[in-house]
């Protein structure tokens, strides 16, 4: 703080010496005033001690941001690709109103204080965001969540910045019409309120893995960087590979509506809000040329520079997004921000009160009348309308896997509970027998057919049947059967073996059938 004050005093002193060299007011040889030469140059001492300054400022804004790692709170994180947070396209404009008092007979130096309000805007961006981590879906199944930003993560911000300035003022007059002035001082921040609006979208994809846990086939977290071939992939790449002409958006929308945390191009539901920072003592420097419109009013044209530091406590347990549509502002990761704003300044200075100790003027000389141009109002800022977000199309049922032409059932059907993919213990002996049968045949393999009842939509039934077939495949593999001998097919609710109009019939349809095939 002391260093800042010393720098400001040095700037004012240098400005005063520069102004005196341009406009010497005394003849130091003869020690008397040149009234005859300078009679038409009003001295600063003829102006009042008191003044009111009103300034408008507009310029650019830059920010140096310090932030926490936005991926730190994702459980068992894999394959992160996250860019640093940066501030772009910053702008700043505002108003400053002060009351000032100039000291001494010559009234070159003074003090001023008042209020400074700046509105600042810009974009907070991250070029890349991709995380893979452990999560749990609505059915309490453990799975691997993948979240990827579509393009940049971008927030447009608007900041209200209110301060109390305390400045040293300096002024001097070169002639009756032109002078120089500078304000240099500190800013005490009162409010730093940041409004944001997120303009980004995310893809939510999933990977399911099955493995025996305490003797029970369950969903487990896939920890391999590259998923295993036996994993169930709910990803764009997997869907396009299976159904190149399918409607992938409707497929993901259907799964999302039934509790799966997946979706494509999802925009945040809570995409706006406010985050407040805590300000410290800043610096203001504002030099200008003064054009005196009349003896008591001056137009100040110049530049400004403003520096401020802000701090913020980052949110505990922060995640940029987790569930589909949820969002937390990137500003919640910020711990500190150093702001620099600079640009042009236009202001008016009004002197008021009686000017004591004025130098007696020389004999009056008729001067031409002054013409003061009327101020032209600034054009209104035009805000472009926000583009409408297109609505999603109605869901279309994804294509189902083809039904096998003939099924030779090798073992008893494996039955499942409603909306479940966990194998019952009562089915273990049947599956153990199936494992022993295939291990005794060198020229055979199993086709595992998964089915569901008709209580859900076609996409969900297909996914459940796929989960159930994979669960049986994983169990047989755990008993020593090679994955090369195990092929899975998902049928959804197709080919029921009993009526879906009764609970007993639906229970028989929630099944897995194992077909023994001979190698050709």
296-341, pLDDT tens digit by residue?
A: 999 999 999 999 999 999 988 999 999 999 999 999 999 999 999 9
Q: How far is CA 206 from the centre of its chain?
A: 24
Residues 312 and 412 in one domain: no
Residues 317 and 409 in one domain: no
Question: 105 pLDDT exceeds 80?
Answer: yes
Which domain does 428 fall in, by range? Answer: 400-520
91 burial class (0-12, 13-18, 19+ CB within 10 angstroms)? Answer: middle
Tell me the CATH number at 406.
3.30.1330.60
50 burial class (0-12, 13-18, 19+ CB within 10 angstroms)? Answer: middle
On whether the CB atoms of residues 333 and 68 are closer than 8 A, the answer is: yes
Q: Establish how many alpha carbons lie within 13 A of residue 349's alpha carbon, considering only the half-sphere containing its beta carbon.
A: 30
In-domain check, residue 112: yes
The model's pTM: 0.67
On whether the CB atoms of residues 276 and 193 are closer than 8 A, the answer is: yes
In the numeric block, the tokens 């995380």 are attached to 131
Q: What integer pLDDT is reported at residue 441 of this predicted model?
A: 83
Q: What integer pLDDT is reported at residue 467 of this predicted model?
A: 93
The per-residue pLDDT for range 113-143, each reduced to its tens digit, is: 999 999 999 999 999 999 999 999 988 889 9
**Cα→Cα distances 402→24, 172, 363, 372, 454, Å:** 99, 91, 110, 87, 17
On whether the CB atoms of residues 126 and 149 are closer than 8 A, the answer is: yes
On whether the CB atoms of residues 316 and 330 are closer than 8 A, the answer is: no
Residues 102 and 180 in one domain: yes
Q: What integer pLDDT is reported at residue 411 of this predicted model?
A: 56
In the numeric block, the tokens 């008021």 are attached to 352
Q: What integer pLDDT is reported at residue 304 of this predicted model?
A: 98
Q: How far is CA 148 from the centre of its chain?
A: 14
Residues 34 and 139 in one domain: yes
Q: What integer pLDDT is reported at residue 439 of this predicted model?
A: 83
Band (13; pLDDT cuts 50, 70, 90): low
In-domain check, residue 244: no
The 3 state secondary structure assigned to 205-251 is EEEEEEEEECCEEEEECCCCCCCCCCCEEECHHHHHHHCCCCCHHHH
Tell me the CATH number at 326.
2.40.160.20
Band (355; pLDDT cuts 50, 70, 90): low
The per-residue pLDDT for range 406-441, each reduced to its tens digit, is: 334 455 899 999 889 999 999 999 999 999 988 878
Share of the chain above pLDDT 70, in %: 81
Edge-to-edge strand list for the sheet holding 414-415: 414-415, 511-518, 444-450, 486-490
132 burial class (0-12, 13-18, 19+ CB within 10 angstroms)? Answer: buried
Measured CA to CA, the distance from residue 383 to residue 126 in angstroms comes to 25
- Mean pLDDT over each residue of the chain, to the nearest integer: 84
In the numeric block, the tokens 């399918």 are attached to 246
In-domain check, residue 483: yes
Residues 160 and 301 in one domain: yes
| Count of domains observed in the chain | 2
Question: 374 pLDDT exceeds 60?
Answer: no
Q: What integer pLDDT is reported at residue 11 of this predicted model?
A: 53
Q: What integer pLDDT is reported at residue 414 of this predicted model?
A: 93
The per-residue pLDDT for range 182-239, each reduced to its tens digit, is: 999 999 999 999 999 999 999 999 999 988 888 888 889 999 989 988 899 999 999 9
| 218, two tokens | 């369950």
Residues 324 and 448 in one domain: no
């Amino acid at each position: 703080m002391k260093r800042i004050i010393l720098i400001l005093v040095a700037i004012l002193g240098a400005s005063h010496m520069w102004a005196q060299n341009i406009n010497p007011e005394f003849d130091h040889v003869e020690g008397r005033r040149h009234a005859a030469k300078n009679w038409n140059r009003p001295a600063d001492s003829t102006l009042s001690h008191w003044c009111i300054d009103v300034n408008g400022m507009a310029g650019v804004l830059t920010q140096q941001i310090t932030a926490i790692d936005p991926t730190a709170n994702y459980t068992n994180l894999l394959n992160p690709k996250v860019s640093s947070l940066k501030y772009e396209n910053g702008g700043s404009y505002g108003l400053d109103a002060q009351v000032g008092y100039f000291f001494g007979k010559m009234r070159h130096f003074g003090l001023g204080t008042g209020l400074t309000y700046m509105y600042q805007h810009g974009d907070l961006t991250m070029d890349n965001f991709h995380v893979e981590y452990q999560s749990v879906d609505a059915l309490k199944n453990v799975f691997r969540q993948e979240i990827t930003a579509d393009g940049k993560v971008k927030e447009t911000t608007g900041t209200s910045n209110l301060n109390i300035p305390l400045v040293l003022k300096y002024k001097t007059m070169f002639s009756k019409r032109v002078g120089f002035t500078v304000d240099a001082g500190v800013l005490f921040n009162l409010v730093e309120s940041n409004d944001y609006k997120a303009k980004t979208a995310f893809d939510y994809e999933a990977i399911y893995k099955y493995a025996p846990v305490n003797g029970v086939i369950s969903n487990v977290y896939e920890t391999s960087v590259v998923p295993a071939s036996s994993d169930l992939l709910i990803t764009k790449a997997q869907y396009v590979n299976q159904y190149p002409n399918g409607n992938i958006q409707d497929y993901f929308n259907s799964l999302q509506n039934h509790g799966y945390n997946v979706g494509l191009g999802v925009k945040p539901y809570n995409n706006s809000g406010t985050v407040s920072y805590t300000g410290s003592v800043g610096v203001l420097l504002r030099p200008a040329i003064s054009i005196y419109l009349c003896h008591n009013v001056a137009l100040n044209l110049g530049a400004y520079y403003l520096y401020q530091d802000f701090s913020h406590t980052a949110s505990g347990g922060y995640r940029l997004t987790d569930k589909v549509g949820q969002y937390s502002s990137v500003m919640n990761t910020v711990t500190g921000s150093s702001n620099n704003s600079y640009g042009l300044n236009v202001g008016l200075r009004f002197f008021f009160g009686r000017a004591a100790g004025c130098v007696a003027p020389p004999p009056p000389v008729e001067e031409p009348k002054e013409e003061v141009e009327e101020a032209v109002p600034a054009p209104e800022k035009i805000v472009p309308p926000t583009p409408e977000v297109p609505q999603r199309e109605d869901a279309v049922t994804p294509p189902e896997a083809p039904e096998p032409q003939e099924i030779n059932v090798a073992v008893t059907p494996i039955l499942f509970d409603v909306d479940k993919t966990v194998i019952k213990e009562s089915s273990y002996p049947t599956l153990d027998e199936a494992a022993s049968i295939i291990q005794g045949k060198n020229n055979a393999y199993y086709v595992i057919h998964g089915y569901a009842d008709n209580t859900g939509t076609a996409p969900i039934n297909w996914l459940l049947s796929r989960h159930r077939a994979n669960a049986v495949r994983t169990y047989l593999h755990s008993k020593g059967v090679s994955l090369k001998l195990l092929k899975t097919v998902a049928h959804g609710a197709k080919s029921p073996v009993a009526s879906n109009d009764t609970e007993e019939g639906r229970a028989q349809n929630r099944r897995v059938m194992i077909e023994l095939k001979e190698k050709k």
